[in-house]
Copies of this chain bind each other. A is one copy, B any other.
Amino acid sequence: MGDANNCFHCPVPISRYAEVLMAHGGGGKLTRDLVEGLFIPAFGRPGAGPLHDGARLDLPAGRIVFTTDAYVVQPLFFPGGDIGSLAVNGTVNDLAMCGARPSSLSAAFILEEGLPMKTLARTAASMAEAARAAGVAVVTGDTKVVDRGKGDGIFITTSGVGVADPGLRIGPAEVCAGDAVILSGDIGRHGIAVMASREGLAFESEVQSDCAPLVDPVFAMLDAGVEVHCLRDLTRGGLATVLVEIAAGAGLNVRIEEDAVPVTPAVRGACELLGLDPLYTANEGRFVVFVAPGAAEQAVQALRSCPASAGAARVGEVLAGPAGTATLGGRFGADRILDMLSGEQLPRIC
């Protein structure tokens, strides 16, 4: 993996082109220029030999986990992150949520003709930096270019391969009545950061996206021997949507207490102003974990030992019923049944 900053000063004449041209996606000379002049300086060259159609992986023993996500966030850059760091962390986190240690990523770019080459270089540098931080390599990729007005700057699809302990059983079906529900930190920052950036809103204190890799928090628990039943990162639909999905998958009731859910004053204020509910606001560096009742304290301690989950807190528990529902215990004793996100709160948030 080369120094990510290289792509701003690379010796290959990528600078001949201030903008992305259709031919950069044509598979010929300009595609080769882009790969040799921008992507390889950022991501490094997998193996030593000439480029081929795919990457050969040397993986440790275990069970392979495979996942993919497309990223279409607007704007491309926002406080606390950008489409590049998002594209790495989002896919890394999907692997971590399966209990897998991320190994390798692929990156496919769909670029709009006329995109400033500097924007692409900055994005690739951010991806490389995020990959390094998460301990993964970007090993294979592809670039296509679409005509002006048929795309929106940059879309990135990353796929990830990781390796999990074959004995691990993690998923909604493993959740049991009595399980403790733990949240890794305060919610809603990613959604508010992107929204504020998109709409040019200035709040009293700038809200930074929570975008972060969650590998360390997950393995802090697994390595400590915490009996983890289910992991799920909070993304587009927010905490509420995830709890409803897991309750439905488990056929149980997931109950959280409103007062226990950390929300910063800045996010709470922004949500009130914008008419949003923090429970449905997007996150990119937060997750919930369901653990055996006796393991809750150990799980919280393990999480708090990692910077990305220093604000972890127990927020609720799993009950037998009503089956397939999620309940929010309110401040004044009033319960509220949570529903999945309906409609579209914040389009193109990731």
Residues of A that sit less than 8 Å from B by CB: 21-23, 25-32, 49-59, 63-72, 93-95, 97-98, 100, 104, 106-110, 139-147, 149-152, 155, 157, 159-162, 164, 170-173, 232-233, 235-237, 241, 245, 248-249, 282, 340-345, 347-348, 350
Contact A164 B56 (CB under 8 A): yes
Cα A305 to Cα B333 with chains together (Å): 74
* Shortest beta-carbon contacts, A-B, top 4: A27-B236, A28-B341, A50-B249, A54-B67
A95 near B340: Cβ-Cβ < 8 Å: no
Inter-chain contact A97/B65, CB cutoff 8 Å: no
Contact across chains for B152 and A68 when beta carbons are under 8 A apart: no
Contact check, A67 vs B343: say whether CB atoms are below 8 A apart. no
Q: Once the chains bind, are B146 and A152 in contact (CB under 8 Å)?
A: yes
- In the bound assembly, the distance between CA atoms of A342 and B30 in angstroms comes to 7
Complex CA–CA separation, A249 to B282 (angstroms):
46
What chain B residues lie within 8 Å of A348 (beta carbons)?
25, 144, 146-147
Q: Which of A59, A66, A171, A248 has the most CB of B within 10 A?
A: A66
Whether A70 contacts B109 by the Cβ 8 Å rule is yes
Complex Cα spacing A286 to B10, Å: 35
A32 contact set on B, CB distance < 8 A: 340
A152 to B26, CA, bound (A): 18
A25/B56 in contact, CB under 8 A: no
Which of B63, B97, B235 sits near A27, CB closer than 8 Å? B235
Question: With A26-B341, A52-B98, A110-B110 in contact, do A140 and B171 touch (Cβ < 8 Å)?
Answer: no
B contact residues around A233 at 8 Å (CB): 53
Contact A347 B59 (CB under 8 A): no
CB neighbours (8 Å) of A282 from chain B are: 27
Q: Are B28 and A236 in contact (CB under 8 A)?
A: yes
Given known A-B contacts A155-B155, A241-B28, A66 and B139 have beta carbons under 8 A apart: yes
> Given known contacts A107-B68, A151-B151, is B97 in contact with A52 (CB within 8 Å)?
yes
Contacts of A110 in B (CB 8 A): 70, 72, 110, 155, 157
| Other-chain residue from B26, B171, B340 in contact with A52 (beta carbon distance below 8 A) | B171
Q: Is the pair B248, A54 in contact by a Cβ cutoff of 8 Å?
A: no
Contacts of A248 in B (CB 8 A): 50
